[in-house]
Amino acid sequence: MTETQSAGHHTRREIMSQPEVWAAALDELDTHVDSLAALFHRHDYGAVYFTGCGSTYYLSLAAAAVFQQLTGIPAAGLPASELWHAPSALSRRLAPALLIAVSRSGETTETVRACERFRAEGRGHVMTLGCYPGRSLESQGDINLLFPSAQEESVAQTRAFSTLYLATTALALIAGGHRAQLAELARLPAVAQRLLSTYGDTAAAIGRDPAIDRFYFLGSGPVYGLACELSLKMKEMSLSHSEPFHAMEFRHGPRAMATAGACAVGLISGDRASQEHAVLEEVRSQGGRTFSLGDAGTDVAFASEVAAPLRNVLYLPVGQLVGLERALAKGLNPDRPENLVAYVTLQ
């Protein structure tokens, strides 16, 4: 194989390019700030729903938690298939609502159908976020935000996920009237670059350790959706056993599995750090491995001076590298995982 054809070439390039892609996305968002602020000012939304499939469903969980925290508007993340087939999941008492549909490809059938049903039932407005222009999802949006710099060659999402998630964090700041804090997001690309440079070898050591045969990703509150996504990356890229849990919920049964051969990856959040570190200590006492990301006292220390939840996107790049290295150590090609396609279309 040539260098450009080597296994994982595209995935590694896409992970490592996230700092510059985030910067480009924030520049693109800057051109929409006034119109987005006007949208939220004009409409008193009773609820905001985020939706997607696979990775973007997990993005929706994380984005909804941050949106509600920063705006006070009730928000929820739901699988697009549920909105398509079971719209009763949405309360009419919270109308008018805003549906924010996220899809890297813009062609995922369930997401397009969810938007169609939301509009047909007159539940409110639709906003779409994607990476490719001219796709089916755009026809459903009252507002469409595109981030073409986040387009990917790989099947498994890395920079597309993180960029779209970062965009939803910016949306939450705009909707909540915190425009001045958008400058905080502009500091994240440089921090991400430092983390990738500093902790690449650490991620490789964890991912390539043959003594580890299963992974558990632990995250709470707004970080839970990101733990789900990193667990999915491990499954997709490396075909490894991997499960996500809320950090403290891990004690209630699943901890029994965290013995020799297990690695618990903790996404440590500031306001509950001591309790989450205690969970990891219990894993170590049972013979399991741990790997933590967050602020002080973690294996991957952000040291970003950007407050949560604005800096939550920083959990992703090094966590993605662990999945990449695991795949390569198993002789797999994470660019083209077995039994997967980039997006699902249904007849």
| 3-state SS assignment for residue 301 | strand
Q: Which tokens go with 15?
A: 């992970």
Report the pLDDT averaged over residues 290-308: 95
Note the pLDDT of residue 2.
47
DSSP count for the chain of H helices, then E strands? 12, 10
Is residue 81 scored above 80 in pLDDT? yes
Note the pLDDT of residue 33.
97
Is residue 64 scored above 70 in pLDDT? yes
Cα(235)–Cα(242) distance, integer angstroms: 6
Note the pLDDT of residue 23.
98
- pLDDT tens string 194-244: 999 999 999 999 999 999 999 999 999 999 999 999 999 999 999 999 999
Choice between 86 and 231, residue whose per-residue pLDDT is larger:
231
Report the pLDDT averaged over residues 93-122: 93
Note the pLDDT of residue 249.
97
Note the pLDDT of residue 4.
52
For residues 137 and 112, the answer to whether their CB atoms sit within 8 Å is yes
Provide the edge-to-edge strand list for the sheet that holds 214-218: 241-245, 214-218, 262-267, 289-294, 300-301
Q: Which tokens go with 218?
A: 């632990």
> Would you tell me which CATH number, out of the four given (1.10.760.10, 3.40.50.10490, 3.40.50.970, 1.20.1290.10), belongs to the domain 188-329?
3.40.50.10490
Mean pLDDT (the chain, rounded) = 95
- pLDDT tens string 158-192: 999 999 999 999 999 999 999 999 999 999 999 99
Complete DSSP assignment for 62-111: HHHHHHHHHH-S-EEEEEHHHHHH-GGGS-GGG-SEEEEEE-SSS--HHH
Tell me whether domains 3-185 and 188-329 share a fold. yes
* Sequence letter at residue 136: S
> Would you tell me which CATH number, out of the four given (1.10.3720.10, 3.90.1300.10, 3.40.250.10, 3.40.50.10490), belongs to the domain 3-185?
3.40.50.10490
Note the pLDDT of residue 220.
96
Q: Which tokens go with 304?
A: 């970003």
Note the pLDDT of residue 338.
83
Break the chain into its structural domains and give their ranges. Answer: 3-185, 188-329
Distance, CA of 64 to chain centre = 11
Cα(83)–Cα(13) distance, integer angstroms: 35
